[in-house]
């Protein structure tokens, strides 16, 4: 639980809020690269941290992120024409380059105006099939992010974005740090994984060799945030099934193996979830991923990227064929985190227990870092010496006396 004041500080991300100021120190994932696939492709409306932006790729392939509202009279540039090296507002034809340079003002001929002013534009970085932008103060801008999943050609990855409405970002991230729900909410999938029938080369690679529902948990602070392990009695006597989940401040979790999930606040009440499946040995298959997630159904996930939860299959639940009556990890998680009594979970009412350890650590870390930034300090995770490029989520069967950290040798403990 948290006090009301702590919960407000943790969850609200608008300009000037403590958490908003912390998050603006980091590069923010704004969309998959494929949304802006070609030079002069359609502009994309972006909502992040309670503010609205437009992203576009100019004729030379350069990416730009500007305030959504036109510098002139505030029309939405998301309706604009991307052409001849810039984006042109439909309303009065003002045109902007990726760096905010005003290229054209058809209703005002004075040339000096264009030289004197610039539309607000934000630094952009693209890697691993994801576009990032930096919305903080220029003097605090960190080096671009570098993660394992950014390596290699695009064929190694599948990236998709999903929007969870009525869901504050914190409860979404908490779901990614909550081992004890996996064997329950996702019990249908775990049963398939155990039988080798679910993504046997991906998330089901280890076949989840345990039936232990009460794992022993250990947590360790790291340079990038923290990682924790769920140690379950393995099917093989005398062994532990160790499943390690890293949390890279402030958005990213690594569910297992070659995947990463970034749960980014669009505003206080909705979250953009950008997932990356990455595997150089067995290229991710888009159709198979969406099928497994139950997201190949347009009633669940369509072009607007909104996740919608279908009515549960209560008959299948009664027949013992499904625990949740919901198909797929993402819809199952969404059904929980998008229905927590309002868009922002009231944490004064919850009753956490020791198995919620990683959730508690994340909250403490975020609140401490928000306080640090408010006191003029930098978030320690952005120290230039911190290297998160080898961080992975993984699992393995180890001897009960073994140190689980040997499975993640690149993770630097504090």
Nearer to another protein, 6 or 104 (CB): 6
Q: Is 11 in the site for another protein (CB under 8 A)?
A: no
List the interface residues with another protein, window 294-353 (CB under 8 A). Answer: 348-349, 351-353
Return the H-helix or E-strand segment holding 164. Answer: strand 157-165
348 — alpha (psi -120 to 50), left (phi > 0) or beta? alpha
Nearer to another protein, 289 or 357 (CB): 357
- Evaluate whether 65 touches 122 at the Cβ level (below 8 Å): yes
Min dist CB 368 to another protein, Å, is 8
Nearer to another protein, 112 or 349 (CB): 349
- 369, exposed or middle or buried, with CB in 10 Å at 0-12, 13-18, 19+? buried
Nearer to another protein, 292 or 363 (CB): 363
Min dist CB 8 to another protein, Å, is 12
Q: Is 22 in the site for another protein (CB under 8 A)?
A: no
Min dist CB 364 to another protein, Å, is 4
Give the x-and-dash track for 108-147 against another protein (CB under 8 A): ----------------------------------------
Residue 142's Cα: distance from chain center in Å? Answer: 19
Q: Is 213 in the site for another protein (CB under 8 A)?
A: no
- Cα–Cα distance, 331 to 339 (Å, whole number): 12
Q: Count residues binding another protein (CB under 8 A).
A: 23
Query: Who contacts 98 (Cβ-Cβ below 8 Å, separation ≥6)?
Result: 56, 58, 62, 63, 64, 86, 121, 124
- CA angle 118/122/127 to nearest 5° reads 145
Residue span binding another protein (CB under 8 A) among the ranges 102-110, 161-169, 172-180, 216-224: 216-224
Cα distances (Å, whole numbers) of residue 46 to 70, 198, 271, 370: 14, 34, 12, 24
Min dist CB 267 to another protein, Å, is 23
Q: Is 173 in the site for another protein (CB under 8 A)?
A: no
- Determine if the peptide bond prior to 202 is cis (ω within 30°): no
Min dist CB 374 to another protein, Å, is 14
Q: Is 405 in the site for another protein (CB under 8 A)?
A: no
Nearer to another protein, 70 or 367 (CB): 367
Q: Is 34 in the site for another protein (CB under 8 A)?
A: no
- 172, exposed or middle or buried, with CB in 10 Å at 0-12, 13-18, 19+? buried
Min dist CB 19 to another protein, Å, is 12
Residue span binding another protein (CB under 8 A) among the ranges 120-128, 200-208, 213-221, 246-254: 213-221
- Cα–Cα distance, 381 to 247 (Å, whole number): 11
DSSP letters of 172-216? Answer: HHHHTT-GGGHHHHTHHHHHHHHTT-S-TTTTTTT---B--SS-E
Residue span binding another protein (CB under 8 A) among the ranges 33-41, 194-202, 214-222, 337-345: 214-222
- Evaluate whether 57 touches 34 at the Cβ level (below 8 Å): no
Min dist CB 411 to another protein, Å, is 18
- Cα–Cα distance, 76 to 45 (Å, whole number): 9
List the interface residues with another protein, window 356-385 (CB under 8 A). Answer: 356-357, 360-361, 363-364, 367
Residue span binding another protein (CB under 8 A) among the ranges 14-22, 187-195, 210-218, 289-297: 210-218
Phi, psi of 330 (to 5 degrees): -65, -50
Nearer to another protein, 218 or 291 (CB): 218
3-state secondary structure of 21: helix
Q: Is 276 in the site for another protein (CB under 8 A)?
A: no
Which residues are 395's β-sheet partners? 243
Q: Which of 8, 52, 218, 296 binds another protein (CB under 8 A)?
A: 218
Q: Is 4 in the site for another protein (CB under 8 A)?
A: yes
- Cα–Cα distance, 204 to 277 (Å, whole number): 13
Kindly list the residues in this chain that would bind another protein in the complex (CB under 8 A).
Answer: 1-4, 6, 10, 216-219, 348-349, 351-354, 356-357, 360-361, 363-364, 367
């Amino acid at each position: 639980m948290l006090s009301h004041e702590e919960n407000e500080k943790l969850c609200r991300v608008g300009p000037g809020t403590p958490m908003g100021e912390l998050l603006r120190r980091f590069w923010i994932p704004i969309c998959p690269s494929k949304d802006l696939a070609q030079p002069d492709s359609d502009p994309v409306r972006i909502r992040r941290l309670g503010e609205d932006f437009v992203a576009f790729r100019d004729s030379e392939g350069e990416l730009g992120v500007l305030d959504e509202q036109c510098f002139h009279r505030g029309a939405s540039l998301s309706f604009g024409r991307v052409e001849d090296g810039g984006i042109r507002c439909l309303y009065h034809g003002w045109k902007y380059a990726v760096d905010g340079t005003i290229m054209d003002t058809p209703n005002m001929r004075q040339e000096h105006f264009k030289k004197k002013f610039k539309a607000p534009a934000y630094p952009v970085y693209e890697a691993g099939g994801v576009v990032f932008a930096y919305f903080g103060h220029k003097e605090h801008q960190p080096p671009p992010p570098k993660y394992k999943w950014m390596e290699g050609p695009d064929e190694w990855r599948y990236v998709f974005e999903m929007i969870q409405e009525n869901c504050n970002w914190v409860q979404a991230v908490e779901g990614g740090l909550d081992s004890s729900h996996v064997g329950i909410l996702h019990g249908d999938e775990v049963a398939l994984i155990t039988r080798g029938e679910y993504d046997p080369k991906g998330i089901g690679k280890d076949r989840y060799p345990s039936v232990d529902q009460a794992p022993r948990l250990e947590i360790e602070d790291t340079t990038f945030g923290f990682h924790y392990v769920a140690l379950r009695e393995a099917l093989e006597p005398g062994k532990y099934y160790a499943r390690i989940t890293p949390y890279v401040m402030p958005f990213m979790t690594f569910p297992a193996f070659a995947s990463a999930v970034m749960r980014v606040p669009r505003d206080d009440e909705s979250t953009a979830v950008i997932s990356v499946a990455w595997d150089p040995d067995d290229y991710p298959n888009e159709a198979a991923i969406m099928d497994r997630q139950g997201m190949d159904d347009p009633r669940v996930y369509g072009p607007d990227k909104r996740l919608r939860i279908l009515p549960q299959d209560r008959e299948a639940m009664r027949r013992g064929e499904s625990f949740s009556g919901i198909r797929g990890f993402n819809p199952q998680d969404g059904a929980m985190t998008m229905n927590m009594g309002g868009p922002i979970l009231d944490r004064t009412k919850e009753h956490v227990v020791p198995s919620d350890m990683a959730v508690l650590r994340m909250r403490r870390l975020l609140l401490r870092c928000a306080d640090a930034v408010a006191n003029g300090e930098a978030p320690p995770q952005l120290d230039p010496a911190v290297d998160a490029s080898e961080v992975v989520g993984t699992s393995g069967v180890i001897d009960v006396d073994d140190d689980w950290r040997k499975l993640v040798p690149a993770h630097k403990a504090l």
